[in-house]
Copies of this chain bind each other. A is one copy, B any other.
Amino acid sequence: MKRILAADIGGTTCKLGVFTPDLELLDKWEIPTDTTDEGSRILEDIHQSFKSKGDDHELNLAGVIGIGLGVPGPVDFNNGILNGAINLNWMEQKPIVSEFESISGIRTIVDNDANVAALGEQFKGAGSGHKDVVMVTLGTGVGGGVVSNSMLIHGHGGAAGEIGHLYVDYNRRFQCNCGKKGCLETVASATGMKNLAVHYYESGMTDTLLKNGIEAGTLSAKSIVEAGEKDDALALKVIDEVAHYIAVALSSLSAVTNPKYFILGGGVSRAGRMLTDRIEAYYRPITFPPAYENTEIVMAELGNDAGIYGAARLVKQFLA
């Protein structure tokens, strides 16, 4: 029987999946990610786990069309090279396609984890039935992926879809991990929410439920959302500003790629309507009408499975 395999490699666990050639999920499971010894056993562990599952799914190497891998780092898609992944202790450039192919004998394709999650949501999740979607993952940082005409956009150097680094804060108040200031990630991720809360607290908004957390350095995005639900003025100012910057980013994404859906995921998106209602209110008045008319802002549906769906889809698109 023909099968497609997928692995979404994270810093703690690897999510593995077995699919039919029509991308029906037959089974999924997780294995721990062994990042010791510079992560030298990660790929072998994935291969062994699939091998040991073989009998369950009429799975044998000869019947595998290919495997798709999602990895937490920047990928040169055309050449199958990962430019390092700090969370996996892969500090150097890694020719991951050729390495996995020589371990397994299975044709391999690799992309960034945010990209494969976007592709998964596009074809099987919240974007199902539409060819043009943008996924925005609001977590510790801000990640994302742009799917246009059912294909991920990679760009010349593989740095397309880097939504967290859209330049939105003209005041350039906070330092980003990328070395710049003003990135969406500095004002709209969990980290960004904390940046803003501390900033306005230090600017004099000290009458807040968040006072202890800020003073103790234990502030979390979750505590800001909870304070917002209690109408805390500082928390609401932060949430309002987060929504404004996300709306600016969505407006840019609309004028450039005109998606049917913006699919929001990640922990910060769990703020729910308090956040999304504000995003909607800012987004439409600043956006070119033909570029938002049929566009909807929706929540991701596949959760942690988005990555394996997208990785399997890549196999179908490029190796089948």
Residues of A within 8 A of B (CB): 74, 130-132, 146, 148-149, 151, 153-163, 165-167, 170, 172, 178-180, 182-183, 248, 251-260, 285-291, 293-295
- Considering the chains assembled together, what is the distance between the CA atoms of A255 and B251 in angstroms? 14
A259 partner, pick from B130, B156, B170, B290, beta carbons under 8 A? B156
How far apart are A279's CB and chain B's nearest CB, in angstroms?
Answer: 14
- Which of A74, A254, A256, A285 has the most chain B CB within a 10 Å cutoff? A256
Residues on B with beta carbons closer than 8 Å to the beta carbon of A254: 159
Q: In the complex, A257→B266 CA distance in Å? A: 22
- A226–B180 Cα distance when bound, in Å, is 35
> Distance (Å) between the CB of A298 and the closest chain B CB?
13
Partner of A162, one of B155, B179, B291, B295: B291
Asked whether, in the complex, the Cβ of B155 is within 8 Å of the Cβ of A258, the reply is yes
| A255/B163 contact (C-beta < 8 A), A132-B156, A155-B148, A287-B180 known | yes
Q: How far is the CA of A317 from the CA of B162 in the complex (A)?
A: 28
The minimal Cβ–Cβ distance linking A244 to chain B, given in whole angstroms, is: 9
Residues of B within 8 A of A166 (CB): 251-252, 255-256
In-complex Cβ contact of A155 among B157, B182, B257 (8 A):
B257
Nearest-CB residue, chain B, relative to A134 = B256
B257 touches A290 (CB 8 A): no
A285 to B170, CA, bound (A): 12
Separation in Å of the A288 CB from the closest CB of chain B? 3
Interface pair B256/A252, CB less than 8 Å apart: yes
Contact check, B286 vs A155: say whether CB atoms are below 8 A apart.
Answer: no
